[in-house]
Amino acid sequence: MTKPRKSRTFVSLLLDVGVPVGSYYVLKGVFGMSAVAALGWSSVGPVLRTGWGVFRQREVNVLPLLILLANLVGLLLSFGTGDARLMLVKDSAVGSLVGFAMVGSVVLGRPMMTATLKPWLVKGDEGREAAWARLRRESPGFRRAELRFTAVWGIAFVGECALRVVGVYTFPVDTMVWLGTVVMIVTMVFAFVVSGALGAGPMAHMIEAAVASARASESDLAGAPTGEAEKNSPLAGSTHG
């Protein structure tokens, strides 16, 4: 991961996780807001950020759109009921909805996490892009690894949500605001490690091997005599009767 990507990841985590948690305690402890009001106002930032991300994308990415809609519905329902615990359960409902959607996309053979994974593996390189497309067409192992990557994240989201729901009705609201964040971070680390080992890692190795093989073939063709190169070319015979 390059330094700019690390910086963007850190900033995203700070804005989507650190700021809402910190603002909850500031709004409740310093400004004297109720738990419901503090939770509601601390959720506005992530909703606006997700909405802006969906708006500026040139093509629709199902995952952020799903998160945005679930957050908006959950926020409205929570304010309507005035139940702080329900507002915390809303976060779990969003996660479980995303998790089940991911698992469903695996069953349908259209893994949702591919839109997020592909740029990290291809890295804007034309050779890696071509290798990705070729492996997706021709390699069952590559497609299985792609499905496993999304499956791990889907299962992790669903499991995290179950733990958080239990926690919401077991611990005080003030405790669950930070404890829920800890559960989420631990789950994300677990999902990163396992999905990397079962999905992204094997896919990266296959892409690198495919790129190396393609470059070796190009080098062999370039170094071969003209007649031999024409004979070995994929186009050989296509224009001769």
**Domains of the chain by residue range:** 62-232
- Strand (E) or helix (H) holding 192: helix 173-195
pLDDT in tens, 182-205: 888 899 899 999 999 999 999 999
Q: 43-57, 105-119, 196-210: which range is least confident on average?
A: 43-57
pLDDT in tens, 60-97: 455 555 566 666 666 676 566 667 787 788 767 777 88
Contact 102, 150 (CB under 8 A): yes
Give the span between the Cα atoms of 161 and 184, in whole angstroms: 9
Crossing angle between the packed helical segments 62-81 and 84-107, to the nearest 10 degrees: 150
Give the span between the Cα atoms of 156 and 99, in whole angstroms: 7
**Better-scored residue on pLDDT, 157 or 217:** 157
pLDDT at 214: 86
pLDDT band at 28 (very low <50, low <70, confident <90, very high): confident
pLDDT band at 224 (very low <50, low <70, confident <90, very high): low
pTM recorded for the entire structure? 0.71
User: Per-residue pLDDT averaged across 130-154, rounded?
Assistant: 95
Q: DSSP letters along 57-95, please?
A: -SS--HHHHHHHHHHHHHHHHHHHHT-HHHHHHHHHHHH
Q: Is the pLDDT of residue 121 over 90?
A: yes
pLDDT band at 241 (very low <50, low <70, confident <90, very high): very low
